[in-house]
Structure 1
Amino acid sequence: MKNTSLTQRPTTPTEPNWQPLNDFAEQKQNDSGLKAWLAVVEGCIRAIEKTAWQGREIADQTVKTWKAMGRGANAVNEEMQILADEMRRWPARLKRLSKTGWMLTKVVASYRLWGTRSAFLPSNMRESALESLHQRNARRFRDTSLEQGGAFLKIGQLLSSRPDLLPQAWVDELAILQDQANPVPFEGIARVLEQEFGQPLDTLFAHVDPEPLAAASIGQVHRARLHDGRDVAVKVQRPGLEEVVELDMTLLKIFMGAVKSALPPMDIDTIVSEIQRTVREELDYEREARVMTQIGEQLAGIPGITTPALVAEHSSRHVLTTEFVHGRKLTTVLDELHHTDPERLGGVLHRLLDAWFSQVLHGGLFHADPHPGNIMLTDDDTLVLLDFGCAQRLSDTARRGYFRVLQACVVDDKQVIADTLATMGFTTRSGNPDTLLAFVSAVLDQVRNAIIYPDPDKGWPSPEEMMQQVSHLLGRLQQDPVDTLPGDFIMLARVFGTLGGFFLHYQPKVDIAALVLGYLTRPLDNQQAA
């Protein structure tokens, strides 16, 4: 900034000194927070423009319909139907886009402007003011996600499961998104069931409870009874969801592109692509049925963890029926055990971590969305995994690579870690592995320390220690960004970030050394990927 001292630039009473104001304007123009806010606004405007241009499709389709009159009544009828469908969809697209885009703009802009606002607040008021800002933004995100559903509800579910990294106000406000959303009226659910199987509802089921057990972003679950007396859970996809999700994916890509400069340097394109891929895969319930069955077979050797049995004859691309499992949400039980039975708490979380090590290292196919709404605990402490729409398959090469990184981390062989990550497709902008090593250190140092310095009474890192480690990692990312990541790693980071959140929040006594060494000393290829 230029020196604005009056001793260096004398002025007279008749000559106003505009330099301080000019300097202030120049500073604000260069301020990264303001630039980021402007980028958000610009991105949302571009998104709205993109949708508005889709209105051109209506005009084009009108012209086609007019021309079709010369080809006869059938051609006109066909083109008119296409035109009617397009006109029906377009206003909903614009309404959805404007509401979601404006919510994101307000959230990001408020945080970008917080630095300026906080400078004018007394120090004793800043903490409460920031807490209010967190709560206000979390409610904005929650309310819009509940109203709009679709892909942004999935993002909210992911955020709600990170109490170790997010402000508590966000975790509290978004917790409802884990297994609650605005339900579809039962008439719409009944219509989907009858269309999928071509039979009346009372022929398909002896009874279906019209009140949903849970309503989520992709579908909602109803309890039902088959004619043979079995109780089942029926997950039905929300009608018309494909169109809603595709619009959300377009908005997400444009929005992330607009705010990319305001985020820590990382492979945003791969992250967005993986989110798009996994959300689209969740629309295919036939795929989910196959994944659920295969992961259930992989976990058969681990006592106390299971998946629901598939009812294939009542399942399709948009309907998934399984046996009904009696149990309670995982975090509800963990909250109770945290105060009453820490030993049992440690046993449950040990089993949970064991299950995902088994899926990743020896199964090659893993459940990639272990938020609390997707895990139940029965009265006999059996963990039941639910909702397999988001899953990731690892190639044998990738599985061996992650296994080798874990081995090398335990013995602190940085060269092997760097070489293995490079072979797997991790690259930094400079080619230097230091940023990658810092990331591995942030993820696996706790595991290595538990093995080398076993101390059952040593607690997990505090939130303050974790934030120091995150700050160090972000500093590394700023100095030398990670330009490319393998797609499967995005899902792995999501899984172990969520599981790590459980351990950091509840601070259980778990013998990590025994668990990890059990996998490191077991031949990796005894069980191949399904």
Structure 2
Amino acid sequence: MFALRRPLVKAALLAAIGGVTGVGVLHYANLLDYNEMGAVRIGRAGVTVAQIAVDYKWSLFWMKDPPSSEAYRKELSKIHLRSAEKLKELCCINKGAFVKVGQHLGSLDYLVPTEYVDTMKSLYNDAPQTPFEDILKVLRKDLGRDPRTVFRKIDPEPLGAASLAQVHKAELNDGTTVAVKVQHSKVERQSRSDITAVKVLLVAVSKIFPTFQFVWLAEETEKILPMELDFLNEGRNCERLGKSLSRFPFVKVPKIYWDLSTKRVLTMEYCEGGRIDDLQYYRANHISVSDVFTKISKVFNEMIFVNGYVHCDPHPGNMLVSKSPLGTPILTILDHGVHMQISEPTRLSYSKLWLSMLDADVEGMKKFASELGVGDMFDIFACMLTARSWTGVRSGIQNSVLSDGEMFDIKRKISMLLPEISDILNKVPRDVLLILKTNDLLRGISYKLKVQNDPHVFTTASLACTRVVYREKINHADSPLAALKLVGNMLWTLFKIKIFEFYLTIFPNRNPLIL
């Protein structure tokens, strides 16, 4: 028996020696990057999640105070912060899809604990960079020629680095300045296994912590990642959005240079301007913060409620503000990898829900939130959408100012409502998840610009929702006369909102609704 096994043992030993020798040679020749190995990346993620799970279980096991106590909340906040830092470190080491999931988590303000949001938000600005030599390799391979024959010069220092790519300023041979977006060389190869790993880990976490049901986060990333990795798709999105927003003269999207674009390289017009949240830029260029955010509100309300075609990643790095020759603000929208078409039923129910919240119509909120699958948790859902307390929603969100006390109360209650919030996120249509992300990113910009109480935000939403709701009624009118009457009612309602909006423009600090 032993004699039969000896050849197998010798073969196994030779294979092992050969494998170790091969790994050693590749390592010393700098041809092997351990971080690329799926087992290493998954193992690292598993260790991090295990550490976080043990931290929660062990730290809270010894807590003698009840969960409603201040001492318990303080201890939980410390654990949230430690865990968020561990997750951020994991994202930065594993890069790629892990950074994308971390960024998504950081955009869910008022949906996950503040400690996670504040920590993961930094991934939008601190995403790992690819060395310039590797960028040149991607350009050479995808464009089929030496980059130096295409570009007169390319700035080695990127304008910005994101989870999947980084952008470099360059100059064409004819002197035209362009921005060249180049995909990180290893992202596509690693993305499929990374998403599978994230999904498995989130399922495991949901078993350990039944209140943490965020598997949808990996599922949504898995769904949109292939679209984001195709830069030709991003170019088409950019052009489509530009056409759908053509009625707004203050909106700009970059021109795409199709002959210098591939699935991993996107060459586009270089757009000047300051970051949308840079208050110093506003002051230096004498730009009205309120005017800019009113324009942002108009554009995104048009996308969500009217067109149903939405740019779903409006973080501050993806929007620029500048001045036209006439001195009026210009809003430039960048990074068009994540666009979403909202289904017609979702768009109509969502519009009616917002109109109900603007009218403080509780029964309407309940009805239209139910159409979106929320059921009896409509009150929590309304608070999630508006980032207001239920008291504030019931009294009319446009009739009251969001105070520091109300903000503190909302943030304090988030950790207490995590099971309900998690349940809602698992029930709503998938396109609503990206709307929630979009809302939270825009809300974050409003806080940075200190315009979260600007009533123009609500008038622009009222205008968009009114148009949507009345158009549906007109399309289903019983007779031409009934349709004509509805058109008249719509125009009168829009006129009243416009008059109020004009009043706010003339007297920006005198909102009669809150006097």
Instruction: Tell me if TM exceeds 0.5.
Output: yes
Is the alpha carbon distance of 1:342 and 1:492 closer, same or farther for their aligned partners in structure 2, counting shifts above 3 Å?
farther
SS in 2 for 1:382: strand
Q: What residue is the counterpart of 2:88 in the other structure?
A: 142
SS in 2 for 1:233: strand
Q: What residue is the counterpart of 1:279 in the other structure?
A: 225
**4+ residue runs over 6 A deviation:** 87-91, 123-131, 165-168, 339-343, 524-527
SS in 2 for 1:462: helix
Q: What residue is the counterpart of 1:487 in the other structure?
A: 430
2:58 corresponds to 1:113: yes
Is the alpha carbon distance of 1:492 and 1:459 closer, same or farther for their aligned partners in structure 2, counting shifts above 3 Å?
same
Is the alpha carbon distance of 1:97 and 1:173 closer, same or farther for their aligned partners in structure 2, counting shifts above 3 Å?
same
Is the contact made by 1:212 and 1:221 (CA closer than 8 Å) also made in structure 2?
yes
Q: How does 1:311-350 map to 2 (within 5 A)?
A: 311-331=257-277, 333-334=278-279, 344-350=288-294
State the Cα distance separating 1:335 from its structure 2 match.
7.5
Q: Of 353, 366, 373, which aligns to 1:405? A: 353
> In 2, distance between residues paired with 1:371 and 1:101?
29
State the Cα distance separating 1:477 from its structure 2 match.
5.9
Structure 1: which amino acid aligns with 2:330?
A: T
Q: What residue is the counterpart of 1:8 in the other structure?
A: none
Q: What residue is the counterpart of 1:304 in the other structure?
A: 250
2:466 corresponds to 1:521: yes
> In 1, distance between residues paired with 2:212 and 2:362?
21
Q: How does 1:57-456 map to 2 (within 5 A)?
A: 92-119=37-64, 133-161=79-107, 170=116, 173-261=119-207, 268=214, 270-331=216-277, 333-334=278-279, 344-378=288-322, 381-413=329-361, 416-423=364-371, 426=373, 433-444=375-386, 446=388, 452=396, 454-455=398-399
Identity %: 25
> In 2, distance between residues paired with 1:342 and 1:129?
45
> In 2, distance between residues paired with 1:452 and 1:169?
29
Gaps of 5+ in 1: 1-58, 63-86, 428-432
State the Cα distance separating 1:199 from its structure 2 match.
1.7
State the Cα distance separating 1:373 from its structure 2 match.
2.4
SS in 1 for 2:173: coil
Is the alpha carbon distance of 1:230 and 1:155 closer, same or farther for their aligned partners in structure 2, counting shifts above 3 Å?
same
The worse-fitting range, judged by mean Cα deviation, of 322-331 and 496-505 is 496-505
Is the alpha carbon distance of 1:410 and 1:161 closer, same or farther for their aligned partners in structure 2, counting shifts above 3 Å?
closer
The worse-fitting range, judged by mean Cα deviation, of 229-238 and 449-458 is 449-458
Gaps of 5+ in 2: 1-11, 16-31, 473-515
State the Cα distance separating 1:153 from its structure 2 match.
0.6
Structure 2: which amino acid aligns with 1:330?
A: I
Residue-by-residue CA offset, 1:275-302 (whole Å, 9 max, x unaligned): 2111222111111111111112223333
Is the alpha carbon distance of 1:461 and 1:493 closer, same or farther for their aligned partners in structure 2, counting shifts above 3 Å?
farther
Is the alpha carbon distance of 1:412 and 1:265 closer, same or farther for their aligned partners in structure 2, counting shifts above 3 Å?
farther
Is the alpha carbon distance of 1:109 and 1:469 closer, same or farther for their aligned partners in structure 2, counting shifts above 3 Å?
same
Structure 2: which amino acid aligns with 1:205?
A: F
> In 1, distance between residues paired with 2:79 and 2:421?
27
State the Cα distance separating 1:94 from its structure 2 match.
1.1
- TM-score in terms of structure 1 length: 0.70
Q: What residue is the counterpart of 1:5 in the other structure?
A: none
Is the contact made by 2:110 and 2:387 (CA closer than 8 Å) also made in structure 1?
no
Residue-by-residue CA offset, 1:42-101 (whole Å, 9 max, x unaligned): xxxxxxxxxxxxxxxxx9xx9xxxxxxxxxxxxxxxxxxxxxxxx999971111111222
Is the alpha carbon distance of 1:353 and 1:107 closer, same or farther for their aligned partners in structure 2, counting shifts above 3 Å?
farther
Is the alpha carbon distance of 1:330 and 1:108 closer, same or farther for their aligned partners in structure 2, counting shifts above 3 Å?
farther
Q: What residue is the counterpart of 1:69 in the other structure?
A: none
Is the contact made by 1:410 and 1:451 (CA closer than 8 Å) also made in structure 2?
no
Q: What residue is the counterpart of 1:54 in the other structure?
A: none
